Amino acid sequence: MSERLKQDMNFLEYPLWFQNSRFAAHQDDGYVWRDRAGYVYRTGYNPPTKTDYVFLCYLLLMSQRAGWQEQIETTRYEVVKACGMVPGRGNYDRLKESLTRWQMVGLEFRGIFYDGNAYEVMQFGVLDDWDIEKKTKRLRVKFNEKWLLCIKESTFFKFLDFKEIQRLRSALSIRLYEILIKAFQGREAWEIDAVKLAGKIPMAQEYASDITLKVRSAVKRINEHTSLRILLSVRHRERGKTVLIFEKNKAPAKTEPQNPTPCALEPGLNTVVSLVPKEERTDKTISLVSRWLDKRGSEYVRRNIEYTNQRSSKHNGYQGYLANAFEQGWAEDRPHQTNGLPNIEEGMVVEYEGAQYRIDATGCIFLPDGVCMPPGLVRQKLDMGECRVVVDTSGQTCS
C-alpha cells in the first residue's frame, strides 16, 4: 500500500502546524500567524503541533488512497497504531484533542492559488467536522472540500513519504524537511538568511548562532532518516548576519567530526574560542560564545573570556561563570552591571520606523502590511539602533 502523500507546496512553504508544543498548549483562546506573502493562519483553540501533523498526514493519506474521499471512516485504534503510537486511552484522547485543533484552524490566502485564478482573498479550513459513534466507536472525519481540492487539483505539489515523516520524530526536522522539499523544486542548492529561516519555520531561537546549531542537528536527522541527502554550509556576511546554504544530494562524509573543534568553526568564532581553555571547549560553551559574538562583537567576548579565565574555578563552574560574565558585563568598567539591551519579552512596546508595535507571545512584531518580523530580526534592529524599546513589560515608559 502506497505511503506517498501528495501535498500542495503552499502547505509546505507556509506552516500548518507549529514546533513549540508548550507555547501551543497555552493558547486556549486561539492564535494568529501572518506571513508577508498574504498567508494568515488562525486558530480558535490551541494551534496544532508535531503530533497533530502526523495524525493529519495519516488521515489525508487515507483519503487519497480512497480516491480523495472528502469523508473517511476509521477507528481510533487504526489511526493511533498507524502513526506509531501505542493504542490506549491516553493516545485516543490525544487524537480527539488533535481533531479539535484541526477543526478550529482557518487559512487565508491572497493572490494566485492552485486553480490559476487570482484571488483578492480566499479563506477555508482543514476539517469541517468529526465524530465518534458511541456504540461502535467508529471515527468519522470530514475534510474541508476546498482544502482537499487545493491538494488534489494542485499542479504545484510534491509527494511526501509518510514513513519518513514518522522516522524523523523531531519537530524541527519535520518542518525543515517540508521546507527543503519545496525549496529544492527545480534546483540543487538553496540559501537563506538564518534569521529569515527561523521566521519561516517558525523557531523560538533569536540569534543566528543558535539557529545554525539547531538547523545542523535537524539536517543530520534528515540525512539519517530520509531519502534526502543534504550538505549544509554557512557564510557570514557581517556581524549578526549568517546565510545558510543547503545543497541537495551532497551529504557530508561519515568521517566528519561529531563535535566541532576550533579549526572547524567559522572565522571570528575560531579566534575567540581559542581563548577558552581546551578542557572547557564543549558544544555548550562554543554555542554560548557564538551567541554573544553575534550579540556584542569580538572585543566584548574576548574581554569577558579573559576575565573568566582569571577568576573562575572548578568550584563555580567555567561555563556558568562565563555565561554570567557575558550577561552582566563583568569585564567592563562597571562590574556586575547589566550591559546591552533588555531581553525581548511579550507585552514590550518597541518603536520602528516611526511607529510603535507590541511584541507578541512568540517575540514577533507585525508590521502594517502583515509582515512578521521574527524575534532574531527584532533583536538585531535593537542592537543596531534601528529599533528602540519605548515601554517595558511593567508598563513603564523608557526614555
Domain spans in the chain, listed from the N-terminal domain onward: 4-160, 172-248, 262-328, 349-391
Residue with the three cell numbers 533569536:
206
Give the C-alpha distances (Å, rounded to integers) separating 175 from 9, 179, 185, 200. Answer: 13, 6, 16, 10
Bridge partners of 350, per DSSP, are 357, 389
Residue 391 pLDDT class (50, 70, 90 cuts): confident
Helix axes of 89-103 and 50-65: crossing angle, nearest 10 degrees: 80
Taken in order 122, 126, 131, 136, is the CA torsion positive or negative?
Answer: positive
pTM, full prediction: 0.67
Which H or E run includes 238?
Answer: strand 230-238
Q: How many CB atoms lie within 10 A of CB 202?
A: 21
Non-local (6+) Cβ contacts of 43 within 8 A are: 27, 30, 31, 32, 101, 104, 105, 106
Measuring CA to CA, which residue among 74, 51, 49 is closest to residue 61? 74
Amino acid 57: pLDDT = 97
**The CATH classification of domain 172-248, taken from the options 1.10.8, 1.10.10, 3.30.530, 3.30.230:** 1.10.10
Residue 336 pLDDT class (50, 70, 90 cuts): very low
Q: Using alpha carbons only, how large is the chain's radius of gyration in Å?
A: 23
pLDDT at 186 over 70: yes
Main-chain dihedrals φ then ψ at residue 109, nearest 5 degrees: -125, 155
Least-confidence region, from 39-43, 252-256, 267-271, 346-350: 252-256
Judging by beta carbons within 10 Å of its beta carbon (0-12, 13-18, 19+), is residue 326 exposed, middle or buried?
Answer: buried
Non-local (6+) Cβ contacts of 350 within 8 A are: 356, 357, 359, 365, 378, 382, 387, 388, 389, 390
pLDDT at 104 over 90: yes
What is the pLDDT of the chain when averaged over all its residues? 83
Residue 371 pLDDT class (50, 70, 90 cuts): low
Residue 138 pLDDT class (50, 70, 90 cuts): very high
Residue 180 contacts residue 230 (beta carbons within 8 Å): yes
Between CA 104 and CA 126 the distance in angstroms is 8
Amino acid 378: pLDDT = 75
